[in-house]
Amino acid sequence: MTQQLPASVRYVKNGRRGRWWTTAKTNKQVHIGWKEVPHRLLIEPNYPEIERIIRRTFGERQGATQDFNALRDVLERPSKYLWVTFEDGCMWWCTVQDGAHINAHGESHTKGHFWLKCKRPWSNESVGGKRLSSSDLPGTVTTTAGFQGTVCEPGAWETILRIIKDEKDPDVLKAAQARIAYQEAILNMVKRLSRPNTCGCWRIRRICTVVVLSLRGS
């Protein structure tokens, strides 16, 4: 199952303050804004024209390039990303199908300007069934929820992907392996020490034993 998941991650807000979240979760969709972009350009994207519209909308304000790149991620093969959001005290994730679906009635309080259809519906559990409560996630992951835009690549996207796949952090595994190797090395030193005949040798043996016990208890 995990092999079928996309290899990269995008965060989506589902409307300002998550106002489209209820509809998105219920209907198995990802709801998006950009109401200044005409429907025809969402269905058949013309990226130079879309960029001109966004830059005109931004005017002198900063962020037009970031905003255009975010919309491009949504329109240009969004199926290659795993999509996440933070709602109801959890991290939620889904995968989507390519192609924008237009809101014929226009953006509203409950629906976006357009949406993507989920291939795998929104879930707040890892593939192994572990609940993805925000309180249990690393700070590097949950800080993404504070992003003010619509779509972004989370800084900790690799960590997010590992958590959803129930995979261990390779650096944590290396540290655990190094600790075990260190414990074994100390134990071997203790075993090699002969029965103490001198005060100094006895002290060495005692120090080694204390080190081993402290490692096991920490």
pTM of the model: 0.77
Is the pLDDT higher at 174 or at 53? 53
Q: How confident is the model at residue 213 (pLDDT cuts 50, 70, 90)?
A: low
Per-residue pLDDT, averaged over 197-206, amounts to: 59
Sequential DSSP letters for 150-195: SEE--TTHHHHHHHHHTPPPHHHHHHHHHHHHHHHHHHHHHHHSPS
**What token pair was written down for 93?**
């994730």
Segment 73-123, tens digit of pLDDT: 999 999 999 999 999 999 999 999 999 999 999 999 999 999 999 999 999
Q: How confident is the model at residue 212 (pLDDT cuts 50, 70, 90)?
A: low
- On average, the pLDDT of the chain sits at 86
Rounded distance between C-alpha atoms, residue 188 and residue 28, angstroms: 58
Q: Are residues 152 and 179 in the same domain?
A: no
Per-residue pLDDT, averaged over 15-42, amounts to: 96
Is the pLDDT higher at 48 or at 149? 48
pLDDT at 5 over 50: yes
**What token pair was written down for 110?**
């409950």
Q: Are residues 155 and 174 in the same domain?
A: no
What pLDDT was estimated at residue 204? 62
CATH of residue 64: 3.10.590
Q: Are residues 108 and 30 in the same domain?
A: yes
What pLDDT was estimated at residue 168? 81
Q: Are residues 117 and 201 in the same domain?
A: no
Where does a domain end: 122, 147, 165? 165
Number of independent structural domains in the chain: 2
- β 29-32/8-12 pair status: unpaired
Q: Are residues 161 and 179 in the same domain?
A: no
What pLDDT was estimated at residue 176? 45
Q: Are residues 14 and 103 in the same domain?
A: yes
Domain that includes residue 88, residue range: 2-165
Where does a domain end: 127, 143, 165? 165
**Which residue, chain included where needed, has tokens 């209820």?**
22
Q: Are residues 37 and 107 in the same domain?
A: yes
Q: Are residues 156 and 198 in the same domain?
A: no
pLDDT at 170 over 80: no
Per-residue pLDDT, averaged over 140-167, amounts to: 94
Sequential DSSP letters for 47-85: HHHHHHHHHHHHTTSS-HHHHHHHHHHHHS-GGGEEEEE
Segment 44-61, tens digit of pLDDT: 999 999 999 999 999 989
Q: Are residues 13 and 119 in the same domain?
A: yes
pLDDT at 161 over 90: yes
Q: Are residues 6 and 70 in the same domain?
A: yes
Q: Are residues 196 and 108 in the same domain?
A: no
Per-residue pLDDT, averaged over 162-188, amounts to: 66
Q: Are residues 8 and 84 in the same domain?
A: yes
